[in-house]
Structure 1
Amino acid sequence: MVYLKKSLGLLFFAFMVMALWQCAKRGSPSGGPKDTTPPQLVRAEPENFTTNFKAKKIRLYFDELIKLEDVQNQLVVSPPFKNPATITPMGAPSKYIEVEIKDTLRENTTYTINFGQSIVDNNEKNPNSFLTYVFSTGDYLDSLTLTGAVSDAVNLKADEFISVMLYEMDSTYTDSTVFKQPPLYITNTGDSLPFFELKNLKGGKYALFGLKDVNKNNMFDQSQDKIGFIADTITVPTDSIYVLNLFREQLNYKASVPSMVAKNKIIFGYQGDYRDMVIESLTTLPDSVSTTLLKERDKDTLNYWLSPTELDSIIFTVQNDKVEAIDTFTVKMRDLPMDSLKLSTSVTGKFNFEDKFSILANTPIVALDTSQVSLNVSDSIPMPYTFVLDTLKNKVDFDFEVEPNQKYSFSLLPGAITDFFGMQNDTLDYNLSTGSFADYGNLRMIFGSDVTYPIVVQLTNEKGVVQREIVASEAQTFEFNHLNPGNYIARVIFDSNGNGKWDTGNYLKKQQPEKISYYPGTIEIRANWEKEETFILSN
């Protein structure tokens, strides 16, 4: 009986706990649905779209606490203020934004302040997308528009936050204005879509530009900005839609101050095209001093190699007749160690069937003694090879028959390579191995019959680094054999000047970059695959 009472008591207790838990569960707050509503503008002082504007401060009031984020990228004022406006509060949540104008405003001009997506609510950071405040210092608001898109001359995807600029082609406008002055009107693309719209424009004739404005000064800086331009004059109003193709110009030629970096080496830096640079010594060098000039591999530097000398200094002229430039430099000699011969190779370990085996040197190579070089296959079987000594790129290229599933060994005995200073290599051994043909895939690309040649067909990886290329002056089947498995991007350069490479544009010369056409999507290559793709091009 006692046991029955205890059991009933425990059962009743359990029932009460469950009931209370269910009640608690039904009554516990869930927090409600997530806030997805952006902050709303409820009032502006002065009112939005005010005419005959004379205020120095603008206040925008919202229906909830807001913050400003990434305002330096998002905010666009058109026409730009010479002195940036002060915007408060920055960082702290508030129900208003205040814009203090520090400029003397233009007469009879419509201004647009576009906040992009910088205004977000304090809790969930929902943006009030592209809130715009518009006012006019004249009697009416200008209302014309111009639309378009931006693209990148080289890359498949355009950069984010491209500034799109209109310059009024009045009596003061010249081709150099974009280097010196901000535009009359400006907008930018966002961080996802490459489209633009210039609003509240007045009718007239304009020059249209796009800039990747790195230092955000609303002017073109050749050393760091990409530029795109429409060569024709833009007449507003217009129904045309414009595409700005942005590119990096080749830098204008400029010689840098040379410096001595080793007992036998002086470096001459430059920007732009070095091919017309002529470096000469005004100082008479002793008969014992020999010199040679060689471009540094993958750097904008010319290496002036010289036999060690006891001179205190050497005076040089650096001349470029093509751009009518001449500079004079004095290089102080310093007590430094010599650069000695060091060798490296283009490939180590796995050797793909399309690879080229090269030996690279840091000091100028002058001779290769083939009696001190041997190539063996399968550890001990001698194998024939040919070679080319490339004195411009300071390397030796070897060519030999490559077979699958083999091991190759290059041996260089002392004295195989001699450099400009008479230094020679020590014993060196390089080992290479190949895989099976089945480890690779093959790709065949077919183009339409209406392609204008010459072209350059390239395969890049997904980061845009070129893996293979074929230069063609006439129609052919383009075969890329022995590709490593992976995803590739195909593109075609329309090589209008026939030099076998892509050439950029130049704004002042009114030259657009050579066109590049991309195959839509990526091309997957798997091991032991044969793949064929048709690429429809439009010139």
Structure 2
Amino acid sequence: MIKTIAFAVICLILFGKCAQQVSPTGGKKDSLAPNLVESVPLNKTLNFKGKKIELFFDEYVVVDNINQKLIITPEADNPYSYKQNGMSVALTFKNQFQDSTTYTLSFGDAIKDFAEKNPAKNLKLVFSTGSSLDSGRVYGTLKDIKSNKPILDVLVGLYNVSDTLNITKQKPFYFSRTDSSGIFSIENVQIKNYQLVAIDDKNRNMLYNAKDERIGFIDKPINAGSDSVSYSMTMFLSDNTPLKIQRTIPKVNNYSVVFSKSVETVGVTFMNKDTLPYLLENGSSLKFFNVQPHPDSTLVKLTATDSLGKTTEFEQKIAFQAQRGKERVKDPFSTSTIPEQSKPLTNDFTYQFTLNKPVHFIDDKNINLITDSLTHEPLSAFEYSWNKYHNVLTIAGKSFAKDSIKWDIPKGSIISVEGDTLPKMLVKHAVLNEEDFGQIKGAVLNADTSTHFIVELVDEQFKVVESLYSTPYTFRHIPQGKYHLRLILDVNRNKRWDTGNFEDAKQPEPIYYLPDKILVKSNFELNDVNISVPK
């Protein structure tokens, strides 16, 4: 009896394994997507009152992350469960669908064949709970304004027109997501006016997070007619969150005030007779330096302006940590240069030293520019200037070197507000060989005298190589490679690109690209590389 039971158990295990579904091990690979052969309800059904939707395919299928990939418009707020059963998938909804409404279920690649995971293509089901189907359509393309590249998987939404629209708290009524070409299409919508907005929606909550999500929008309400035009939209980052002091970092030598986002400018007003040197680091950290003598704490008023031009005032108490040892340990005094050390430098140059502390003293007669190891010219012979924080030194000059240019900076010639000095430095650069570089000449077309613009040459990673502000223009000393040319309309004439703001219905300053990349070769000049202001 025991042997009989054991034999039966073994048979069950063996036959159970044989009954498991497995992918075929041989034969021609299945490259065909599953086809929808029937649905309940049928596509474009009218007066549908059910809660269950079922799809039937011509082969075995599997469901892949359907909760993320299935898009139901208009947004139903109707939870559902799903069941996969061989060649069919059934969705059961908790509530009835809203009456007299056309619904579109777009499945994306949520349903795939069992064997090779080929997704069903263009799988969509449309039905109406009323007596007719809505025929409105909104479609178009979406690109990133900085790179001019299409953006994949962006949420493009239609919102009911309202003076109190808040996209940080309100979800769109109809929506779609862009494909890899940045194309979107929202179909079977009610024919009326909507606000058209696109957001990154990184966390897929269908709400706008201004801190780190791009946005694009059409200024005025659009009409979702059956023959509506195609909309071309650009997306941009616009952090309109209120500027705050995120944290403070008190130390013995310095005190940092860290803002919640980058600021364009910051003004400091000392509320008593005491003053302290300070500088802005990385665009968001204001550092005060502990220079004796001063009181235990110093009250300051900060006036900070962010990238959207919004100004916020703060009062802040600056209080350094108490010194414990006899000797104060200072942060090392250091500098960086533009161009970087060892990078080639033209004889006609603009040079920049950036120091990590404000400078108290510079000996411009003891700092020398050495050309070809023969000619020594003191810094005092050149035009130079400091920034407002006295830590960035810009030098304009000309040399007649043939091989090398060196800055000789003796120890003690640059002293910081903390009283320490740079060590002896010799900053070397080879003289730029004109034959190793290319040149681009062109003009801005269709621009009248009232148009202010910025012509930018950017590399393939969209890093700005050089910016010019007049026409005709010449980009000199360009390393061999491929580049983009773009034109920024400088509406407010501040010589930089300014972003937009949805709350104020303000679009970013327009950016236009030359359609094709520019190939720059060594010792070669490109002429008539023109870019036009669209009419």
**TM-score, normalization by structure 2:** 0.83
1:58·1:100 contact (CA, 8 Å) conserved in 2? yes
Greater shift in the superposed pair: 506-515 or 99-108: 99-108
Over 3 Å counting, the alpha-carbon distance change for 1:485 and 1:352 in structure 2 is farther
Report how many aligned residue pairs link the two structures: 495
| SS of residue in 1 equivalent to 2:279 | strand
Deviation at residue 37 of structure 1 after TM alignment: 1.9
Q: 1:205 aligns with which of 177, 193, 207?
A: 193
Q: Give the one of 343, 352, 360 matched to 1:350.
A: 343
Asked if residue 519 in structure 1 is aligned to residue 514 in structure 2, the reply is yes
Q: For 1:402 and 1:60, how far apart are their aligned partners in 2?
A: 77
Q: Which 5+ residue runs of structure 2 have no aligned equivalent?
A: 1-24, 324-328
Spell out, residue by residue over 1:265-296, the C-alpha distance to the aligned partner (whole angstroms, 9 max, x if none).
Answer: 222222467457555677x7xx8x64133211
2:392 is aligned to 395
2-structure distance, mates of 1:417, 1:401? 22
Q: 2:104 aligns with which of 109, 112, 117?
A: 112
| CA 72–290 in structure 1, closer or farther in 2 if over 3 Å, else same | farther
Q: Deviations over 1:375-425 (max 9, x none)?
A: 111123214551424233621123332557411221111221122222222
Task: Measure how far apart 1:369 and its partner are.
Answer: 0.8
Q: Aligned with 1:400: secondary structure?
A: strand
CA displacement, residues 454-512 of structure 1 (integer Å, 9 cap, x when unaligned): 2111111101001111112xxx3211111111111111111122211111111122211
In structure 2, the partner of 1:431 is 428
Q: Which amino acid aligns with 1:304?
A: F
Q: Equivalent residue for 1:13?
A: none
Q: CA RMSD in A?
A: 3.2
Please show how residues 25-424 of structure 1 align to structure 2 within 5 Å. 34-69=29-64, 74-82=69-77, 85-87=80-82, 94-102=86-94, 105-169=97-161, 173-190=162-179, 192-237=180-225, 238-271=227-260, 274=263, 277=266, 290-296=275-281, 298-307=282-291, 318=302, 327=314, 333-334=320-321, 337-346=329-338, 347-353=340-346, 356-383=350-377, 385-392=381-388, 394-402=391-399, 405-424=402-421
Distance 1:122 1:57 in 2: 23
SS at match of 1:398: strand
Amino acid at match of 2:135: S
After TM superposition, give the deviation of residue 523 of structure 1 in Å.
0.8
Contact 1:404 1:435 in 2 (8 A): no
Query: 1:94: how far off?
Result: 5.0
Residues 262, 284 of structure 2: 8 Å contact kept: no
Q: Deviations over 1:275-320 (max 9, x none)?
A: 57555677x7xx8x64133211x33222222336897776666556
Q: How does 1:9-24 map to 2 (within 5 A)?
A: none
Quote the Cα distance in structure 2 between the aligned partners of 1:96 and 1:357: 69
SS in 2 for 1:197: strand
Cα separation, 1, equivalents of 2:133 and 2:419: 78
How far did residue 201 of structure 1 move?
A: 0.9
- CA 1:243 to 1:290, structure 2 compared with 1: closer, same or farther past 3 Å? same
Q: 1:485 aligns with which of 480, 489, 508?
A: 480
Tell me how far 1:218 sits from its aligned partner.
1.5
Does the 8 A contact of 2:137 with 2:228 survive in 1?
no
Residues 39-72 of structure 1 show CA distances to partners (whole Å, capped at 9, x for unaligned) of: 0112323444344444444332222233445657
Q: Distance in 2 between matches of 1:369 and 1:331?
A: 31
Moved more, 496-505 or 233-242: 233-242
Shift of 1:124: 3.3
Contact 2:212 2:239 in 1 (8 A): no
**Which of the residues 425, 443, 453 maps onto 2:440?**
443
Q: 1:185-214 CA deviation, whole Å, 9 max, x = no partner?
A: 111111x22222211111222111111212
State the TM-score, normalizing by the size of structure 1: 0.82
Contact 1:265 1:339 in 2 (8 A): no
| Preserved contact between residue 403 and residue 434 of structure 1 (Cα < 8 Å) | no
CA pair 335-96 structure 1, distance change in 2 beyond 3 A: farther
Partner Cα separation in structure 2 for residue 97 and residue 330 of structure 1: 64
Q: 1:244 to 1:449 in 2, by over 3 A?
A: closer
Contact 1:258 1:266 in 2 (8 A): no
> Over residues 426-445 of structure 1, what are the superposed CA-to-partner deviations in whole Å (9 max), with x where a residue is unaligned?
21111111242111111112
Residues 69 and 438 of structure 1, relative CA distance in 2, 3 Å threshold: farther
Shift of 1:451: 5.7
Contact 1:255/1:318, CA 8 A, preserved across alignment: no
- Alpha-carbon spacing, 1:328–1:408, altered in 2? closer, same or farther (3 Å): closer
The 1:310/1:110 distance shift into structure 2, 3 A limit, reads same
**Cα separation, partners in 2 of 1:324 and 1:259, compared to 1, 3 Å:** closer
How has the CA–CA distance of structure 1 residues 86 and 317 changed in structure 2, closer, same or farther, with 3 Å as cutoff? farther
Further displaced range: 391-400 or 330-339: 330-339
* CA–CA distance in structure 1, aligned partners of residues 246 and 263 of structure 2: 14
SS in 2 for 1:167: strand
Deviates more, 1:461-470 or 1:526-535: 526-535
SS in 1 for 2:167: helix
Residue 459 of structure 2: aligned partner: 461
The residue type equivalent to 2:408 in the other structure is S
Counterparts in 2 of 1:533 and 1:412: CA distance versus 1, 3 Å:
same
Deviates more, 1:392-401 or 1:341-350: 392-401
Q: Deviations over 1:121-167 (max 9, x none)?
A: 23333332221122333333322222222232221212111211111
Q: Quick one: which amino acid aligns to residue 294 of structure 1?
A: L
Aligned to 1:21: none
Please state if 1:502 is matched with 2:497: yes
Cα distance change on mapping 1:98 and 1:293 into 2, 3 Å? farther
CA distance in 2, matches of 1:324, 1:485: 43
Q: Distance in 2 between matches of 1:224 and 1:139?
A: 43
- Assess if the C-alpha contact under 8 Å between 2:80 and 2:94 holds in 1: yes
Contact 2:350 2:397 in 1 (8 A): no
1:230 CA displacement:
1.4
Secondary structure of the residue aligned to 2:121 is: coil
2:440–2:529 CA contact under 8 A, matched in 1: no
Q: Secondary structure at the match of 1:521?
A: coil
Distance 2:493 2:229 in 1: 33
Contact 1:307 1:421 in 2 (8 A): yes
Are the structure 2 counterparts of residues 220 and 425 from structure 1 closer, same or farther at C-alpha, using a change threshold of 3 Å? same
Judge conservation of contact 2:264–2:283 (CA < 8 Å) in 1: no
